[in-house]
Amino acid sequence: MSQAVQVVGALVILAAFAAAQARRLDVRSRTYLVLNVVGAGALALDAWRERQWGFLLLGPRAAGPVTSPARQRGQERVRTGG
């Protein structure tokens, strides 16, 4: 089952990437970010369960897509004065 979780998690991330490359999905859209978080979360949980610590060290990189919409909204408020 571990291998299946890894494949599905990777495919979810790759699907989001492929959609963005085909310009069907904006990389700042909620859908893109959710797909990335779900895929990365599945991979991280499986790595934790399998004690693959080297893979988990890459985990903080996944926080970038999660925090970028909040930063973007904050910048838009500053620009618009709202």
HSE at residue 53, side-chain half, CA atoms within 13 A, is 0
Specify the higher pLDDT residue, 44 or 63: 44
**53-78: per-residue pLDDT in tens?**
887 787 665 555 555 555 555 555 55
Q: What is the band of 12 on the pLDDT scale with cuts at 50, 70, 90?
A: very high
CA angle 7, 8, 10 (to 5 degrees): 65
pTM of the model: 0.68
pLDDT value for 28: 87
